[in-house]
Amino acid sequence: MSNLNTAVPEHEQKTKPKTVVFEIQRQDKSDSKPYWETFEVPYRPNMNVISALMEIRRNPVNADGKKSTPISWDMNCLEEVCGACSMVINGRPRQSCTALVDQFVQPIKLEPMKTFPVVRDLIVDREFMFDSLKKIKAWVPIDGTYDLGDGPRMPERKRQWAYELSKCMSCGVCLDACPNVNDKTNFIGPALISQVRLFNTHPTGAMNKDERLDALMTDGGIAECGNSQNCVVACPKGIPLTTSIAAMNRATNIHMFKNFFGSDHMVD
């Protein structure tokens, strides 16, 4: 009796498709209990987290082979410009559109940002941050719709660093990374402090400079900052947030002394 070679020739072997494992924290409603669910999706070169979530949405079957429901998450531009797709990936808040799966150790854990109330799955309610933008008057008010002519020009050097501050996309990542933004404080967070600096630097926006500084000196303002400096590390746009916080700390101190002693005795 001859020995039969049962090994499959190499050219006939079928390579098992490579998969990417995701552990996703889910929550059906804002008041329901969160739970974890594992999914496996086929690997593709240059795959980002968003494309993986789209694959799960197309075929919502979990790793146990059970039919599930599509994952809910926010997205818009897919170019790290809008800030909508913020979530916590392997313990770090960041933009999921620029998060390539090759950068992470598997299983890749996806969680909603903890700073904001969860709406469903990875979607959070960032109303607190937008209300804070109103509080600090993060806009340049123009009275009327008529032609006001050319506005005042900014020196080129000032314009260049102000442009860096204007890159803020209100993604909320720095707020999630900041330990002082929590349910025990009203701290508005580093992004909002930097926005005060941006609009107070603008020649027209400076008309409301005192109002913005007053807002920073109220409850939840700059005094709540603990200088942990997590924000500047986490910011996806590389905005110098700690520099802005230091500048606004000085500006609010000067503003406080002006209010106390009277502006006639103070030099800006």
Determine contact, residues 191/131, Cβ cutoff 8 Å.
Answer: no
Would you say residue 200 has pLDDT above 80?
yes
How many angstroms separate the CA atoms of 130 and 101, rounded? 31
Q: What is the pLDDT of residue 147?
A: 77
Cis peptide before 45 (omega within 30 of 0): no
All CATH 3.10.20.30 domain ranges of the chain, comma separated, are 17-124
Q: What are phi and psi of 28, to 5 degrees?
A: -70, -40
Q: What is the pLDDT of residue 99?
A: 96
SS3 for 95?
Answer: strand
Among 28, 78, 34, 46, which residue's Cα sits nearest to residue 20? 46
Q: What are phi and psi of 168, to 5 degrees?
A: -55, 130
How many angstroms separate the CA atoms of 231 and 233, rounded? 5
In tens, the pLDDT along 2-36 reads 444 445 455 544 555 699 999 999 999 999 999 99
Choices 3.10.20.30, 3.40.190.10, 3.60.40.10, 3.40.50.720: CATH for 17-124: 3.10.20.30
Phi-psi region of 121 (alpha: psi -120 to 50; beta: other; left: phi over 0): left
Which residue, chain included where needed, has tokens 């552990």?
Answer: 23
Question: What are the residues facing 196 on neighbouring strands?
Answer: none
Would you say residue 130 has pLDDT above 50?
yes
pLDDT, average across residues 138-165: 84
Window from 37-46, 99-108, 143-152, 163-172 with minimum mean pLDDT: 143-152
Look at strands 92-95 and 86-89 and give their pairing. Answer: antiparallel
Confidence of residue 1 (pLDDT cuts 50, 70, 90): very low
Would you say residue 266 has pLDDT above 60?
no
Among 42, 51, 45, which residue's Cα sits nearest to residue 78? 51
Determine contact, residues 49/108, Cβ cutoff 8 Å.
Answer: yes
All CATH 1.10.1060.10 domain ranges of the chain, comma separated, are 127-142+151-265
Would you say residue 153 has pLDDT above 70?
yes
Determine contact, residues 231/169, Cβ cutoff 8 Å.
Answer: no
Choices 3.30.70.120, 1.10.1060.10, 1.10.10.10, 3.40.50.1820: CATH for 127-142+151-265: 1.10.1060.10
Among 86, 146, 139, which residue's Cα sits nearest to residue 110? 86
Token pair of 68, please?
A: 């599930």
Task: Describe the chain by its helix, strand, coil percentages, rounded to 5.
Answer: 35, 15, 50
Q: What is the pLDDT of residue 264?
A: 53
In tens, the pLDDT along 227-248 reads 999 999 999 999 999 999 999 9
Would you say residue 261 has pLDDT above 50?
yes
Window from 83-87, 90-94, 143-147, 227-231 with minimum mean pLDDT: 143-147
